[in-house]
């Protein structure tokens, strides 16, 4: 049997992405072989494909390279010394981050401790949407220590990370403000946030005295959002390319500011899968693209106009 994978043969535009076949991998000690159903597409995938950022710099002599850090699927083989899963178990994981990748594969071997069991009430699609985006959301809210009654401003609340961060902050009983396009105002209101149309006016004209800023946009938009904060507010900025600039400006203004790189945690994924299974967290899937349409999936990711998550169907 062959294993189809989506690779970057060279850095560049979405069109460089191509499908190649490789030998079926065999699980080593402590690993299981997963038949991937869905792989998540994240902004870091598009950035790395374009040759930007740390993962690209580290892998430039390693091409062709397989993207992808989010997977859901089923266990088809167990290596030696594995005891957490049986063949047929449905699993999800945040894998190979940041230097290995590999999620854009039909089959992949993964250390069993990196995988979470998917509860029966959770779909494979919902599970694939959670690992990287969900853990980024949890860890970003942790960095600004969101408390009940605080005003929290989340930039880009309708995106893959944003829609989860909004729900978690609302669940923590914070007063949540978020920016979005006109098309997503109603959607974010249903999640319990005060939604602000950034196409109408800058957020600095609409929000004041916020205790915390979760910046999922970066650049000038984030700099403008600093004007919404009260003295001593906390700032976390997720996009790495502008993190230094945002943190520097925020600290000059007297705020406690930090960038972040998400740190894979199976326990956090377990917790989110549980929240989805009991209906306390909802994942929004923008579109599922067959793996052959990965170029279109990356083009959509780069519009910055995606509600929720983009997935690849790896079994087409």
Q: What is the Cβ-side half-sphere exposure of residue 272, based on CA atoms within 13 angstroms?
A: 30
Q: Are strands 90-94 and 70-78 parallel, antiparallel or unpaired?
A: antiparallel
Neighbouring C-beta atoms of residue 154, cutoff 10 Å: 34
* Residue 197: both structure tokens together: 């149309």
The residue whose two tokens read 């699980």 is 27
What is the distance between the alpha carbons of residues 177 and 204, in angstroms, rounded to a whole number?
Answer: 12
What is the distance between the alpha carbons of residues 67 and 73, in angstroms, rounded to a whole number?
Answer: 17
pLDDT at 191: 98
User: Residues 216-220: what's their mean pLDDT?
Assistant: 97
User: Residues 130-137: what's their mean pLDDT?
Assistant: 98
Residues near 244 by beta carbon (within 8 Å), at least 6 away in sequence = 259
Q: Which helix (H) or strand (E) holds 165?
A: helix 162-171
User: Residues 18-23: what's their mean pLDDT?
Assistant: 97
Which CATH superfamily, name and number, covers 2-130+283-313?
Medium-chain alcohol dehydrogenases, catalytic domain (3.90.180.10)
* Residue 83: both structure tokens together: 């005891």
CA distances from 58 to 17, 47, 100, 105 (A): 19, 13, 10, 20
**186 pairs with which residues across the strands?**
none
* Residue 17 Cα to chain centre, angstroms: 20
User: Residues 14-31: what's their mean pLDDT?
Assistant: 97
Neighbouring C-beta atoms of residue 309, cutoff 10 Å: 30
* Residue 272: both structure tokens together: 């989110």
Q: Are strands 309-313 and 31-41 parallel, antiparallel or unpaired?
A: antiparallel
The domain locations on the chain are 2-130+283-313, 133-259
Residue-level length of the chain? 316
What is the distance between the alpha carbons of residues 76 and 139, in angstroms, rounded to a whole number?
Answer: 32
pLDDT at 316: 77
pLDDT at 309: 98
pLDDT at 296: 98
**210 pairs with which residues across the strands?**
229
User: Residues 295-302: what's their mean pLDDT?
Assistant: 98
Average model confidence (pLDDT) across the chain: 97
The pLDDT-based confidence of 156 (bands split at 50, 70, 90) is very high
Considering the domain delimited by 133-259, tell me its CATH architecture. 3-Layer(aba) Sandwich (3.40)
The pLDDT-based confidence of 277 (bands split at 50, 70, 90) is very high
What is the distance between the alpha carbons of residues 179 and 214, in angstroms, rounded to a whole number?
Answer: 11
**What percent of the chain has a predicted confidence (pLDDT) above 90?**
99
pLDDT, tens digit, for every residue of 73-91? 999 999 999 999 999 999 9
pLDDT at 24: 97
The pLDDT-based confidence of 1 (bands split at 50, 70, 90) is confident
Among candidate residues 128, 118, 125, the one with its CA nearest the CA of residue 69: 128
CA distances from 47 to 65, 70, 301 (A): 14, 16, 10
pLDDT at 219: 97
pLDDT, tens digit, for every residue of 170-183? 999 999 999 999 99
What is the full DSSP assignment across 34-55? EEEEEEEE-HHHHHHHTT-SHH
Position 283 pLDDT exceeds 80 = yes
User: Residues 213-229: what's their mean pLDDT?
Assistant: 98
The pLDDT-based confidence of 255 (bands split at 50, 70, 90) is very high
What is the distance between the alpha carbons of residues 232 and 240, in angstroms, rounded to a whole number?
Answer: 23
- pTM for the whole thing? 0.97
């Amino acid at each position: 049997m062959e294993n189809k994978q989506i690779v970057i043969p060279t850095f560049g535009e979405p069109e460089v992405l191509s499908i190649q076949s490789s030998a079926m991998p065999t699980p080593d000690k402590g690993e299981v072989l997963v038949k991937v159903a869905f792989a998540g597409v994240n902004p870091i995938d598009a950035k790395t494909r374009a040759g930007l950022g740390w993962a690209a710099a580290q892998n430039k002599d390693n091409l062709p390279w397989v993207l992808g850090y989010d997977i859901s699927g089923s266990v088809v083989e167990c290596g030696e010394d594995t005891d957490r899963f049986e063949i047929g178990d449905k699993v999800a994981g945040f894998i190979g981050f940041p230097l290995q990748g590999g999620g854009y594969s039909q089959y992949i071997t993964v250390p069993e401790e990196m995988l979470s069991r998917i509860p029966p009430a959770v779909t494979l699609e919902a599970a694939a949407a959670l690992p990287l985006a969900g853990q980024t959301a949890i860890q970003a809210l942790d960095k600004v220590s969101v408390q009940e009654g605080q005003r929290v401003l989340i930039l880009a609340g309708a995106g893959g990370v944003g829609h989860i961060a909004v729900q978690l902050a609302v669940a923590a009983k914070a007063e949540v403000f978020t920016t979005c396009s006109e098309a997503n105002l109603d959607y974010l209101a249903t999640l319990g946030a005060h939604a602000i149309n950034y196409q109408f006016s800058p957020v600095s004209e609409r929000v004041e005295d916020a205790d915390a800023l979760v910046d999922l946009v970066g650049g000038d938009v984030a700099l403008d959002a600093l004007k919404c904060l009260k003295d001593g507010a906390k700032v976390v900025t997720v996009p790495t390319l502008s993190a230094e600039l945002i943190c520097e400006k925020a600290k000059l203004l007297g705020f406690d500011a930090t960038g972040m790189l998400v740190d894979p945690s199976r326990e956090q994924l377990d917790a989110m899968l549980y929240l989805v299974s009991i209906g306390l967290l909802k994942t929004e899937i923008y579109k599922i693209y067959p793996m052959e349409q990965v170029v279109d999936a990356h083009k959509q990711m780069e519009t910055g106009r995606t509600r929720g998550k983009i997935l690849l169907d790896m079994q087409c």
